[in-house]
Every structure is written in structure tokens, then in C-alpha cells.
Amino acid sequence: MTASLHDRLPSYVAVSPRPSDYFRILFVCTGNVCRSPIAERLTRHELDTRLSERAAGRIVVESAGTWGHEGAPMEAHAATVLGEYGVDSRNFAGRELLDEHVVEADLVLTATLDHRAQVISMGHAAGLRTFTLKEFTRLVRSIDPATLPEVGSGAEVTERARALVRAAAALRGWLLASSPEADEVGDPYGAPIGMFRNCGEEIFHALDPVVTALTGVPAPRHQAQRPWRS
């Protein structure tokens, strides 16, 4: 009997499909102990806050590192910053970025342009769904929300998310950053808590327009203030 296309695919493709009723976001940094865990947990918190349990459950949020510390806990200052935002940092374990993570992801958001290049170099048709976080934010700000499917049920949030990624990919190359560094989030690893707070604030404010565009639900107004200044 002739093998099907599914049978001929590499194992990480065959066993890890991207079902249409779920949307997977993958955050990528270097060690997967600072920037990408902060982004992962902040995003999860915001989705759970703004959407119904069913709709929020349709979006899977994960992270990994190009030189990920496999099984390592989140860096202590990163966990502290998340706590200041009221976000749970428990039960985190670092991961090294693998092919299967890229294959499964519908949207890959990286800390830097180098991370983005590394993800794209892995193949798996990742180019049109891989951006730096701040690049994606910049593009999302130029997308008219009225052009996206309106969220009304669990399934529709995934439709809206996919439409958002397609729209952002179409704008890339037309809307350029003021400088390459403007699309990057610096690494606070080994720095004092103040640097981690600055990093957390940078990530939080980059994520807010993205989560708003994904969900159609804006953040509460009080979240514009730094949590440790409240």
C-alpha cells in the first residue's frame, strides 16, 4: 500500500499538527529564563483576564530559548517582576527551542532580530508567522480592528488570531522600524532588579496592543501604570 503524505512526513510534523480550533503562540529568547517566560506568563494572564474560559483556552501560549536552559526555573528577578504584575510564575521549566515547537506554532514572537533569524532558518515555512515581539506590535498598531473577525465564541478567537497574523505579514516590508534596535527587547540576564522591571514594562506595553487585537478586548485603564509605582 502506498504511504500517505501524513505517513511520509517527519515524526515531529506527523504527531504535532496545528488543529484549526487552537492557536499557538511561541515566545523565543536566548535562555528561556527571562524575557520569553515574562512574555509567556503576561500573555496567558491577559488572555485569561479578557476572554471567557472557553475562548481563552483556544489560545495556547508557550516559550523556548535558542540556547534554552532545559528544565531550569525562571530567573528570580523575572519571577519577581511577574509577581508585581499579579501574574503567577510558579511551575515554570525552561526549554530549548526544537523543530517541533516551530512546527506547532501559529505565531512566533522573538526578543531580537537574531532570534527571529534563527527561528526562520529552521525552516517549516516559519517566515510568515515569525516576528520580533516589538515588530509585531508595530505592525498590529497599523491594522484596522474592523477588518478582523469579531470574537463571539471560542472558535472565532482563533479565526481572528490567524487573520491578524496574515495582516501583519502583509504589512512587513512596507512599514519599517526607525532602527533595527527599535524592534528588539534587550536581555536583562544578570542585571539588577531595576533592569528586569524595565524589561517587564517594555514587554507588557508591547503585548498590550497585541492581546487587544487578538481578543478585541482592551486592557483595564489602570494597567497603564507601572505596578510597583501604584
**Residue 133, CA atoms < 13 Å, CB-side half-sphere:** 29
Burial of 228 per CB tally in 10 Å (0-12, 13-18, 19+): middle
SS3 167: helix
Res 2: pLDDT: 34
- Look up residue 23 and give its three cell numbers: 492557536
Whether the CB-CB separation of 40 and 27 falls below 8 Å is answered with yes
Of 8, 24, 34, 35, the active-site residue reads 35
144 is catalytic: yes
Question: Each residue's pLDDT tens digit in the chain (230 positions)?
Answer: 333 323 333 333 333 445 568 999 999 999 999 999 999 999 999 999 999 999 999 999 999 999 988 999 999 999 999 999 999 999 999 999 999 999 999 999 999 999 999 999 998 899 999 999 999 999 999 999 999 988 876 668 999 999 999 999 999 888 777 777 889 999 999 999 999 999 999 999 999 999 999 999 998 765 545 554 44
Q: Which residue has the cell 515574562?
A: 38
For the beta carbon of residue 34, count every other beta carbon within 10 angstroms.
Answer: 29
- How far is it, in rounded angstroms, from Cα 28 to Cα 108? 7
Distance CA 49, CA 46 (A): 5
pTM value is 0.88
CB of 40 within 8 A of CB of 17?
no
Compute how many other C-beta atoms are within 10 angstroms of the C-beta atom of residue 225: 9
Q: State residue 9's pLDDT score.
A: 30
Annotation says 35 is catalytic: yes
**How deeply is 185 buried, as exposed, middle or buried, from its count of CB atoms within 10 A (0-12, 13-18, 19+)?**
buried
CA pair distance 54, 154, nearest whole angstrom: 6
Q: Domain 24-138+150-215 maps to which CATH number in 3.40.50.2300, 3.40.50.720, 3.40.630.40, 3.40.50.150?
A: 3.40.50.2300
Q: What is the pLDDT, as a whole number, of residue 150?
A: 86
End-to-end alpha carbon distance in the chain: 67
* Per-residue model confidence (pLDDT) at position 10: 36
Active-site position among 24, 29, 34, 41: 29
> Domain ranges in the chain?
24-138+150-215
User: Which among 7, 90, 144, 229 is annotated as catalytic?
Assistant: 144
Helix (H) or strand (E) holding 99: helix 99-104
